[in-house]
């Protein structure tokens, strides 16, 4: 084999190896890259999960809209079932709907309006006792002052 033939053979092998490496890199990138087949399959799985979640949310939204419409129309049976579901009554309890309830002159809401319950203010027993003692001492001091004045005016008359 001549030198020229050896050179051509080595060149052919080098080109073959280079082409094989490029083809391997292209296949590797195509298959394992960010847009490869496994990534595409993973995205399809995520799309299916999101679609199922959207269907669940859509069903829940439809159910809540139906319930809201029924409650706004003051449908007696739906209000009864919903109240029982929330634990405000049992099956044998009777629910009443007040009609024409105007409340007190201070209130401007109808019956059925949700109100914020404020926590009552409780005084401790010691605070009550201190207040009672203060009031009793004030009454005794006032009584002593009035009695002193009365005795002073009687002395001055005589």
Q: Which value, in Å, is the radius of gyration of the alpha carbons in the chain?
A: 45
pTM, two decimal places:
0.38
Higher pLDDT pick, 12 / 117: 12
Cα distances (angstroms) measured from residue 38 to each of 21, 28, 48, 86: 22, 12, 15, 47
Mean pLDDT of 56-66: 90
Number of helices (H), then strands (E), in the chain: 4, 0
pLDDT in tens, 99-158: 555 555 555 555 566 666 667 666 667 777 788 788 888 888 888 888 888 888 877 876
| Residue 32: partners with Cβ closer than 8 Å, 6 or more residues away | 38
Q: Please, are residues 76 and 70 in contact by the beta-carbon 8 Å criterion?
A: no
């Amino acid at each position: 084999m001549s030198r020229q033939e050896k050179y051509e053979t080595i060149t052919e092998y080098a080109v073959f190896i280079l082409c094989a490496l490029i083809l391997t890199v292209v296949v590797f990138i195509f298959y394992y890259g960010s847009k490869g087949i496994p990534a595409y399959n993973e995205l399809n799985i995520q799309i299916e999960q999101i679609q199922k979640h959207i269907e669940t949310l859509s069903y829940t939204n439809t159910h809540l809209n139906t319930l809201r419409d029924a409650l706004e129309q003051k449908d007696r049976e739906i209000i009864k079932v919903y109240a029982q579901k929330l634990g405000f009554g049992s099956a044998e309890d009777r629910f009443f709907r007040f009609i024409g309830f105007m409340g007190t002159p201070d209130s401007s809401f109808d019956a059925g309006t949700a109100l914020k319950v404020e926590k009552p203010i409780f005084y401790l027993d010691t605070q009550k006792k201190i207040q009672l003692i203060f009031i009793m001492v004030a009454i005794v001091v006032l009584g002593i002052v009035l009695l002193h004045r009365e005795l002073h005016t009687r002395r001055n008359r005589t």
